Amino acid sequence: MASQGNWLARAWHSAFAPIKEPEGFYRHRALVRLTHWINALCILFLLGSGLNIFNAHPRLYWGLYGNEGDTPFFAMDAFDTPTGPKGMTQIGSWQFDTTGVLGWSKVDGEFQARGWPDWLTIPSFQDLADARHWHFMFAWILVFNGLAYLIYALWSRHLQRDVVPSRADIGAIPESIRDHIKLKHPTGDAARRYNVLQKLAYLGVIVLITLMVLTGLTMSPGFNAIFPWLLDLFGGRQSARSIHFICASLIVLFVIVHVVEVILAGPINEIRSMLTGDYRIPQDKKDRA
């Protein structure tokens, strides 16, 4: 494109020019792309506001109840010590000094008792009321966006065809694990499909988000009156709160692995496929030669 004078326009054009068979194929349809990015934004806001909410009572319990006096299995607290206050994080019977990050960290240059530090929370300052507002706003968006995705993915059979592992996939799990350890990414025809670990990860994150919504609803006293069986399903409100937190942690783990895989597999090609839908099929080096 001679008319595209500057480098930015050229880079944009070369990145987003349509890719046709046999070099590539149309991998992600518009609704999948759109819901993917809305979901990513929701997760960012839900995590940030969730950590701010968590700071109002930075302890986790198991069972029907849990409050001051009961023993948490996870806690982030500030303690006075002879050498000054310290932030301590407790997991089970282990305790770690996490001063400066967890339990006791700086806000506007001054230390304060705070579960998660201000650079992780939405809003950055401690504010349970507004963190809840952000949380519920994005929770509703997440739910409607997720339903749109699920209905479309089931109706178009995208879920059944591309995401649910086949019997052959299950047999290929050991091989796929070896490929992942060697950071070997599929090429040619194999790159037209998700590998089995990838399928399981995507299914897993759908399950995790569903659990997030259900455990979130289980913490609502209004919803408890509507669907009391959710309390039984998760073993009480405090267990539901802990599962909510554990699932959120697993989603963070998923996001980290997901982003690392995008970078390893070729970030421009991978990100383009989630923006325009077009995916260039990676070729084996020996085939290309």
Binding mask 161-200 for another protein (x = CB under 8 A): ----------------------------------------
By CB under 8 A, is residue 130 in contact with another protein? Answer: yes
In angstroms, the CA 210 to CA 221 distance is 19
What's the CA gap between 33 and 30, in Å, rounded?
A: 5
Report the alpha-carbon distance of residue 188 to residue 39 in Å, rounded: 30
| Cβ-contact 99, 77 below 8 angstroms | no
In the shown chain, the binding pattern of residues 30 to 69 toward another protein, with x for contact by CB under 8 A and - for none, equals -------x---x--xx--x----xx-xx-x-x--xxxxxx
By CB under 8 A, residue 133 contacts another protein: yes
Q: Minimal distance in Å, beta carbon 86 to another protein?
A: 21
223 sits near another protein (criterion: CB under 8 A)? yes
Q: Which amino acid is at 208?
A: L
d(CA 194, CA 177): 14
Q: Which two tokens stand for residue 257?
A: 């692995």
Which C-beta is closer to another protein: that of 32 or that of 137? 137
Residue 239 buriedness (CB in 10 A; 0-12 / 13-18 / 19+)? buried
Residues in contact with another protein by CB under 8 A are 1, 3-4, 12, 16, 37, 41, 44-45, 48, 53-54, 56-57, 59, 61, 64-70, 122-130, 132-134, 136-137, 140, 219-226, 228, 231, 236-238, 241, 275-276
